[in-house]
Amino acid sequence: MSHAIDFEPVISKAEELGKRFALTARHYDETGEFPFANFDALYEAGLLGLVTSVEQGGLGGGLSEALAVISAIAQGEPSTALVLSMHYNQHYSLRASGKWPDHLIERVTKANREGVALINAAQVEPRVGSPSHGTLPETVARKVGDTWRITGRKTYATGIPLLRWVSVLAVTDEPEPRLGSFLVPTSAAGIRVEKTWNATGMRATNSDDLILEDVAIPLEDILDIAPAHEGLKRDERLGAWYFTLVPAIYDGAARGARDWLIEFTTTRAPASLGAPLSTVPRIQDGLGQIEIWLTANRRLLRSIAEDFDAGRPFGPDAAAVKHVVMENAIAVTTLALEIGGNPGISRDNPLERHHRDALSGKAHAPQNDLVRTMLAKAAFGRREATPSAPLDPVPVRTHHQPHLAIVGRT
């Protein structure tokens, strides 16, 4: 897909930043601190506006460019990449979904031009879980005068220390309830954050709980609202952004593991071997398998991004790619640990961190069993939509054909 802007220097800058972020990744993993400095650097590089429309001061990048940037950042520090991917999801949505009112588009993009002003959605709840399971949220928006008053609790508010806004999914208390997303500034009265994020991986995302207690926003600061009984409606095409960028983060962690393994095996030369570990056939075979998984990941992710940018259909393929890429990322880091031996599980080396980060990908909805069920239903649906025509029977031959005696053997 052609663009007026040359994105090669932009992607090169992201690759440079990914390498720089890798230098402090261990610190953020050990402390659980949020990487504020990384987002200052991303803003200075113009990367926070990568997918924002050109008319709103952004670069107008598509999914292919977003994928390249997220992959580069994730290879250095996946937590930063996850927060950035959510920011990209929201900015592309306000650019292309048609669901955002003009005044909210202007408000969010203006702040994005002027400084670090991140945005993310807040949808998951402690009792309800992810809305992908089909249950309505317990967060309620009450209409009081010329405001909505929102009360509820959201979990996994990724990037909350630096978010300027959250798009909060809530149900109205009207006689005929409606379900919608409400743009809430994190500076609003009645908002507080409870530190609940203590995961084994992706520790610097600070995906803590967001608590809203009678938070007031203007009536017009709402998007994508519809009767609650219709449930949450997602744009299947725009879903490709989530299904591509999120697995790319964990693929990036796997690539970090691969890079450590190459460095370790080419510089480690045990006295008993008299040569680097990289000369051992078993090591070469293992690294070759890792390259196969990573090559498949790269090709699959690119194919969805390119199809999206070109306007080609891809159906449920994006969900299948998420499934495959995340499983491959875990397989890569697991095999790298096996090859690396004791040094691989040392906290002094990054390999065990890459493995913990890759495992964290399993937490992202929809989980693999739901993806497989969705794909199965799609396959059955294709069968029902195009029933097979009856087959003509094969003529029975009565003359002697001895060579047919072996047909059908297993």
294-342: pLDDT as tens digits: 999 999 999 999 999 999 999 999 999 999 999 999 999 999 999 999 9
Query: Does residue 143 share a domain with residue 38?
Result: no
The last residue of one of the domains, among 67, 97, 116, is: 116
Tell me: do 173 and 285 sit in the same domain. no
Instruction: Give residue 115's pLDDT.
Output: 97
- Whole-angstrom CA distances from 310 to 27, 54, 315 are 40, 19, 14
268 and 346 share one domain:
yes
Q: How many domains does the chain have?
A: 3
Q: Are residues 273 and 293 in the same domain?
A: yes
Look at residues 174, 200, 230 and tell me which one is the last residue of a structural domain. 230
Q: Measure Cα distances from 78 to 85, 255, 282 in Å.
A: 10, 11, 29
Global pTM? 0.91
Average pLDDT, the chain: 92
Mean pLDDT of 141-164: 97
Residue 162 structure tokens: 């630096």
Query: Do 329 and 369 share a domain, yes or no?
Result: yes
CATH classification at residue 179: 2.40.110.10
**130 confidence band (pLDDT: 50, 70, 90):** confident
Nearest to 330 by CA among 278, 257, 262: 257
Domain-located, residue 391: no
pLDDT on residue 408:
35
What pLDDT score does 388 carry? 62
pLDDT on residue 70: 98
Same domain (yes/no): 208, 322: no
- Rounded Cα gap, residues 303 and 295, in angstroms: 12
Name which of 81, 64, 88 is nearest 17 in CA terms: 81
Q: Quick check: 123 pLDDT over 70?
A: yes
Q: Average pLDDT of 374-381? A: 90
> Is there a domain that residue 390 lies in?
no
Cβ atoms of 154 and 123 closer than 8 Å:
yes
With respect to residue 392, please indicate whether it lies within any of the assigned structural domains.
no
Say yes or no: 256 and 372 in one domain.
Answer: yes
Q: Which residues contact 104 (CB under 8 A, 6 or more apart)?
A: 94, 183, 221, 223
Over 60: is that where the pLDDT of 410 sits? no
Above 90 in pLDDT, residue 13? yes
pLDDT in tens, 341-355: 998 888 889 999 999
In this predicted structure, the answer to whether residue 111 has a pLDDT above a threshold of 90 is yes
Task: Note whether residue 409 is domain-resident.
Answer: no
Residues 128 and 112 in one domain: no
Residues, the chain: 410
pLDDT at 173 over 50: yes
pLDDT at 383 over 70: yes
pLDDT, tens digit, for every residue of 196-219?
A: 999 999 999 999 999 999 999 999
Domain hosting 243: range is: 239-381
Looking at residues 285-291, what average pLDDT do you find?
98
Q: Give residue 404's pLDDT.
A: 31
- CATH number, position 13: 1.10.540.10
The answer to whether residue 387 sits within a structural domain is no
- 208 plus 313 within the same structural domain: no
Classify residue 399: in a domain, yes or no.
no
Comparing CA positions, the residue from 49, 28, 37 lying closest to residue 118 is: 49
Q: Give pLDDT, residue 35.
A: 98
Higher-pLDDT residue of 54, 233: 54
pLDDT confidence of 395, banded at 50, 70, 90?
A: low
Three-class SS of residue 135?
coil
Q: How confident is the model at residue 391 (pLDDT cuts 50, 70, 90)?
A: low
Quick one: 256 and 367 in the same domain? yes
Do 374 and 282 fall into the same domain? yes
The pLDDT score that the predictor gives to residue 197 is 96
User: In angstroms, what CA-CA distances link 47 with 109, 112, 246?
Assistant: 13, 10, 17
Interval 29-64: pLDDT, tens: 999 999 999 999 999 999 999 999 999 999 999 999
Kindly report the CATH number assigned to the domain that includes residue 292: 1.20.140.10
**Choice among 15-19, 82-86, 270-274 with the minimum mean pLDDT:** 270-274
Q: Is residue 401 one of the residues assigned to a domain?
A: no
In the listed set 73, 101, 116, which residue is the last one of a domain according to the structure? 116
Same domain, 254 and 375: yes
Give the pLDDT confidence score for residue 129 in this predicted structure: 86
Does residue 3 lie within any of the structural domains?
no
Across 129-138, 280-289, 320-329, 400-409, least confident range: 400-409
